[in-house]
Structure 1
Amino acid sequence: MNSWHIRQAVRVLQSGGIIAYPTEAVWGLGCDPFNEEAVRRLLTIKRRPEFKGLILAAASRAQIAPLESPLNVQQREQLDATWPGPNTWLLPDPQGLVPVWVKGQHARVAVRVSAHPVVQALCESFGGPIISTSANPASAEPAKDKLKVRTYFGDDIDYLVPGRLGGLDRPTVIRDISSNITIRK
């Protein structure tokens, strides 16, 4: 991983652009979650309806600490046991800290504190979480290589961060922290 590429990607994120980057299992698309125009553009090129919501990827729990405030001790221990790592949790957002264009129709927000070195470097350099959604148009298979990302999106991606996928065969598990129900295996 080259720090120059991370700096370039962060510049793109800060200017409202969309990046493609390797994650634990598939290539992901990302942008600044608090930039409504960037998120809507990402949803458009992915052909994903807003109501479905998106995942936030973070480098550390400190980056998403305000979302942990409503959690009880047992729920925090669940996060301790699974983060950083390839686990996405649906966390409550009673204070409305995360914009509706990220959460979609949901009261909760999907969050992953990643152990993937590229994701961590991006979020650390950006200074907060970024959007993490699979690099594929709706209903197509997620991209497993850079060529597929370019085939799917061409010039709609503003920067492609080089790197390798992690060792997972499929996208991360998604579980609800309140009910412990698995939403996606």
Structure 2
Amino acid sequence: MKFHRILSASLERRLKAHLKLGGLVAYPTESCYGLGCLPTLPSALKHLIRLKKRPQHKGLIVIGDSLTRLLPLLCKPSAKQQAELVQTWPAAKTFLLPARENVLPVLRGKGRQKLAVRVPAHSGARRLCRAVGAPLVSTSCNRAGKRVCKTEREVRRQFGRKVWVIGGLVGRQKTPSQIIDGETGTRLR
């Protein structure tokens, strides 16, 4: 399925239902395919972590099509911080910001109070969030220790029918997004 087709009403309904039932989706991002789910569903997060064989303590990135889409997961950023984020995004820059108390610990990472969020530079990833009307988890589409998937074919080879694959081209970025502490400005990756 290509991104331009996601917006058909029938496909949009099916994808939303798939995600609401805890399903996973693989989709192109700036540097590789991302693997995602709804960030508010514990069963989906558990499924994603198990499928990737990823350590649970690491935390996950959440993307949205706008800062507004991400705000329900965050303690309200200051007006200055919001202005900086709006000016910076969309970009391959992930910011660690204080998370609301109800954000699942597996999403933040063990013992952490901040959530990694981004409005991606990849227009297809933003359109996907807009189409499903929700933010999505965005972790690299690969099993722990394996090479990241750069094509739809690689996703299907590695995960088969365990994920809903959105076809499309990966962006030209060679490295994962930068990770920046939103409070201190310190670059962590």
**What is the TM-score normalised by the length of structure 1?**
0.89
5+ residue gaps, structure 2? none
1:64-143 pair list within 5 angstroms: 64-66=70-72, 67=74, 69-71=76-78, 73=80, 75-93=81-99, 95-105=100-110, 106-143=112-149
User: Percent same amino acid at aligned positions?
Assistant: 35
Deviation sequence 1:15-38 (CA, Å, 0-9, x none): 210011111110010111111001
- Equivalence for 2:26: 20
Q: Let me know the Cα RMSD of the aligned residues.
A: 1.7
Paired residue total: 181
CA distance in 2, matches of 1:7, 1:132: 21
TM-score (norm 2): 0.88
Describe the SS at the equivalent of 1:183.
coil
Distance across 2 between alignment mates of 1:15 and 1:43: 16
Task: Give the alignment partner of residue 50 of structure 2, picking from 44, 48, 67.
Answer: 44
Which amino acid counterpart does residue 23 of structure 2 have in structure 1?
A: G
Name the structure 2 match of 1:179: 184
Deviation at 1:170, TM superposition (A): 1.6
Question: Structure 2 CA distance, aligned partners of 1:14 and 1:114?
Answer: 22
CA displacement at 1:76 relative to structure 2: 2.9
Q: Structure 1 unaligned segments of length 5 or more: list them.
A: none
Given that residues 67 and 86 in structure 2 are in contact (C-alpha distance below 8 angstroms), is that contact kept between their aligned partners in structure 1? no
Counterpart residue number, 1:155: 161
CA contact (8 A) 1:46 1:138 kept: yes
Q: Which amino acid aligns with 2:97?
A: L
Partner of 2:36: 30
CA-CA distance at 1:8 after TM superposition: 3.8
